Amino acid sequence: MSSRTREGVPRHEDPDVKKQLFLYNNFSATLWVVVLGNTIFLSLLLGQPFLFEKSRNILVGIQTLALYEIYNSYVGNVRSPVMTTLMQVSSRLLIVWGIFVVLPNSPANVHWAYITLNVAWSITEIVRYFYYAQVLVSNGEAPYVLTWLRYNLFFVLYPLGVGSELTIIYKSLDEAASQVGAWYKYFLIICMLTYIPGFPVLFGHMLKQRKKVMKALNGDSKKQK
């Protein structure tokens, strides 16, 4: 079918690589379902700071697992560009390790931005990982609904996620200076500045992917009619 996309498909049809990627994608998607459920449940019933205290460890763990994606991109196991993968994973590792672990008492961790961050990240990743898993088992074909969500939700979720990340970093600056040192505060400021060129690159990459996929997807829909 013309809606076939190569995103998430191994460069080499190695059955072991495909199996590893399939297991990783499904495992990651399941963990993100847990993150989303915890965020909704704990924020409504317990609120902050309990939400941060109860959800931080799994969030740090699942984001650290994403280093595996950089490896796969670098060695050519998948077709995702190394640079865009590195940029996205690095920015998230900065948040979970640079803020949530290094600065556990930052006011940002109990701010509403922590909730919107979890929502944006988890929905994005649930769709993305389940999409990748379906692409792997169907040789490039994923269900229409899943494909549509993958290439349309980012219009809302990417800005929401980036805005939440920047808010968390900004509200952690004073804590960084007092707990670690002035150098760390300025390091975080520099990291914030990298979002200026970084966001257009990542968003532009998704726009290009969306254009190709949606054109093929709509073409298939017309053929079926």
pTM over the 0.85 mark: yes
The active-site residue out of 132, 165, 175, 184 is 165
Q: Which of 41, 82, 92, 65 is nearest to 195 (CA)?
A: 92
Q: Are 145 and 10 in contact (CB under 8 A)?
A: no
49-84: pLDDT as tens digits: 899 999 999 999 999 999 999 999 998 888 888 888
Residue 2: predicted pLDDT: 29
Question: Does residue 99 lie within any of the structural domains?
Answer: yes
Q: Are 146 and 134 in contact (CB under 8 A)?
A: yes
175-194: pLDDT as tens digits: 999 999 999 999 999 999 99
Task: Specify whether 165 is catalytic.
Answer: yes
Query: Does position 120 have pLDDT exceeding 50, yes or no?
Result: yes
Distances from the Cα of 216 to the Cαs of 1, 4, 36, 127, 143, in angstroms?
A: 9, 8, 31, 19, 13
Question: Does residue 10 lie within any of the structural domains?
Answer: no
In the chain, the number of structural domains is 1
**What DSSP state is assigned to residue 10?**
B
Question: Does residue 224 lie within any of the structural domains?
Answer: no
Residue 4: predicted pLDDT: 40
Q: Are 136 and 18 in contact (CB under 8 A)?
A: yes
Question: Does residue 159 lie within any of the structural domains?
Answer: yes
Question: Does residue 155 lie within any of the structural domains?
Answer: yes
The active-site residue out of 68, 158, 170, 195 is 158
Question: Does residue 2 lie within any of the structural domains?
Answer: no
Query: Does position 11 have pLDDT exceeding 70, yes or no?
Result: no
CA pair distance 212, 206, nearest whole angstrom: 10
Rounded to an integer, the average pLDDT of 190-219 is 88
CA pair distance 99, 93, nearest whole angstrom: 9
The domain in which residue 213 lies consists of: 15-218
